[in-house]
Amino acid sequence: MILIKLIWSARALDEYERLLDYLMPEWGIAITKRVVDSITHQINRIQHSPEQFPIFIKSKNIHRCIISPQTSLFFKASDNTIEILSIFDNRQDPKKHGF
């Protein structure tokens, strides 16, 4: 099976880095590793079958993948590319997140 090319937006990379910077001192290496593993697992699922994730904003073809009760990942999919747009804290209002 061919994987779809993955691109991270600058915003998503920044949010991912800030998430890890928060988790490590607050929750330790075990929880941080679990979160990283969950994100990696879901990204692999997205690369194999992006259509399995619901469209969040139809007009922009933005999908949402719930990583955990606290975290969602937003992405755009085309025939040959997945763009990770945001790693999002679910306690915020995604409609105000600027998509």
Question: 5-88, which class in CATH?
Answer: alpha beta
User: What's the mean pLDDT when you consider all of the chain?
Assistant: 90
Model confidence at 30, pLDDT cuts 50, 70, 90, reads very high
What pLDDT is recorded for position 4? 80
Q: In this model, does residue 55 exceed pLDDT 90?
A: yes
Query: In this predicted structure, what is the pLDDT of residue 1?
Result: 58
Task: State the pLDDT confidence band at 79, using cuts at 50, 70 and 90.
Answer: confident
Per-residue pLDDT at 89: 81
DSSP 29-87: HHHHHHHHHHHHHHHHHHHH-GGGSPEEEGGGTEEEEE-SSSEEEEEEE-SSEEEEEEE
Q: Domain segments of the chain: what residues?
A: 5-88
Per the structure block, which two tokens stand in for 10? Answer: 């600058």
In this prediction the pTM is: 0.87
